[in-house]
């Protein structure tokens, strides 16, 4: 249903006459893709055609000189407003999703080494700060109270309930009583990181609004961590099931080792599924909400009657989608953690003697 709504909203946006969009300055593609992509500034709002943003540090290595440069992203914007083509040879390439490029002396453009502090990086730092505040605050409560006598209430009690639910009912049951302890800290961290990131992404204003888990680079890294946890610490029974599974000999040795090949590809496809599932679900939710928002402005740019009708419809759908996204934010964090725990548990099978 989420993808059906996404397709419908995008079709409505694409089907709108270009002249209407241009007359009112409504660029659906820019609204949707601009939010979904990373940025070198944090856009807050637009007042009277003036964009209010928080510029972020740009840290790049010049391909021409080999030197590192660090400057504020607003320098490039200021240079463009003054009629210059770039700042120190660097500019934002709109054809490449606003990524920073360097213009060389021969007129060609190249992508420099870029370790800039982008919007997604700042959002991750904010999430880390929130997690530290939550868990250090809860730890402080336990230091001051006897956990065997005092029962935590309020926010600390809610956090304890959530932690113990994930720890006991998900991690321990999926991995097993014997092997779950080394992986519990990682899986709990992943769960709360994804959950808080998803929640902040639903806030329309700073410090929320960044589409971190809708960025495939972030989900790739999370999936890579799970892949390493599974394969670096899998026991010999796990690797035996991959390279010499318990199937008839003709399926694993002669004439082609079919099952070992399939099992080996499973090492890659499992984390790939984790990466794509989280990325696609979060990206689709943000795109749907933004598309419905853009439809309001498109309707008013055509006429007042259509604008009024589309505003009411879009408002109802946006409200519904935001409520749904709160649920999806928890579900996606739970599913990613659950599947990671299941894959780790499969890497520690017990040898059964007959």
DSSP-assigned letters across all residues of 318-346: HHHHHHHHHHHHHHHHHHHHHHHHHHHHH
Q: Which residue has the tokens 């006429």?
A: 303
Give tens-digit pLDDT for 152-193. 888 988 999 999 999 999 999 999 888 899 999 999 999 999
> For residue 353, what pLDDT is reported?
43
- Is 175 within 8 Å of 345 (Cβ atoms)? yes
What pLDDT is stored for residue 249 in this prediction? 66
Query: What pLDDT does residue 95 have?
Result: 79
Low-confidence ranges of the chain (pLDDT < 70): 1-36, 46, 48-49, 147, 245, 247-257, 286, 305, 350-354
Specify whether the CB–CB gap between 166 and 209 falls below 8 A: no
Given this model, what pLDDT does residue 354 score?
A: 42
| Buried/exposed code over 170-186 (b: 16+ C-beta within 10 A; e: otherwise) | bbbebbeeebbeebbeb
């Amino acid at each position: 249903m989420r993808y059906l709504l996404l397709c419908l909203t995008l079709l409505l946006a694409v089907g709108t006459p270009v002249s209407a969009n241009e007359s009112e300055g409504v660029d659906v593609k820019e609204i949707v893709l601009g939010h979904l992509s990373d940025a070198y500034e944090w856009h807050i709002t637009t007042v009277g055609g003036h964009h209010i943003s928080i510029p972020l540090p740009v840290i790049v290595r010049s391909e021409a000189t080999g030197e590192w440069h660090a400057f504020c992203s607003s320098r490039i914007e200021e240079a463009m407003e003054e009629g210059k083509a770039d700042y120190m040879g660097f500019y934002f390439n709109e054809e490449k999703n606003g990524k920073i490029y360097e213009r060389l002396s021969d007129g060609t453009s190249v992508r420099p080494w870029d370790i800039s502090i982008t919007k997604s990086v700042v959002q991750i730092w904010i999430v880390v700060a929130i997690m530290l505040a939550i868990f250090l605050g809860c730890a402080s409560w336990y230091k001051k109270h006897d956990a065997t006598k005092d029962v935590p209430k309020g926010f600390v009690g809610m956090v304890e309930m959530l932690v113990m639910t994930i720890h006991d009912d998900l991690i321990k049951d999926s991995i097993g009583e014997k092997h779950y302890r080394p992986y519990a800290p990682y899986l709990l961290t992943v769960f709360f990181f994804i959950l808080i990131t998803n929640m902040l992404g639903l806030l329309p204003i700073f410090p929320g609004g960044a589409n971190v888990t809708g960025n495939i680079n972030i989900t790739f890294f999370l999936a890579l961590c799970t892949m390493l946890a599974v394969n670096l610490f899998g026991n010999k029974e796990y690797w035996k099931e991959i390279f010499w599974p318990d199937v008839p000999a003709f399926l694993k040795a002669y004439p082609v080792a079919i099952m070992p090949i399939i099992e080996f590809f499973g090492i890659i496809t499992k984390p790939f599924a984790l990466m794509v599932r989280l990325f696609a679900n979060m990206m689709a939710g943000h795109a749907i909400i933004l598309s419905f928002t853009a439809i309001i402005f498109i309707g008013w740019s055509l006429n007042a009657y259509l604008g009024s009708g589309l505003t009411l419809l879009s408002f109802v759908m946006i409200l519904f989608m935001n409520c749904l996204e709160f649920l999806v934010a928890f579900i996606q964090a739970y599913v990613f953690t659950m599947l990671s725990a299941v894959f780790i548990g499969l890497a520690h099978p017990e040898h059964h003697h007959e």
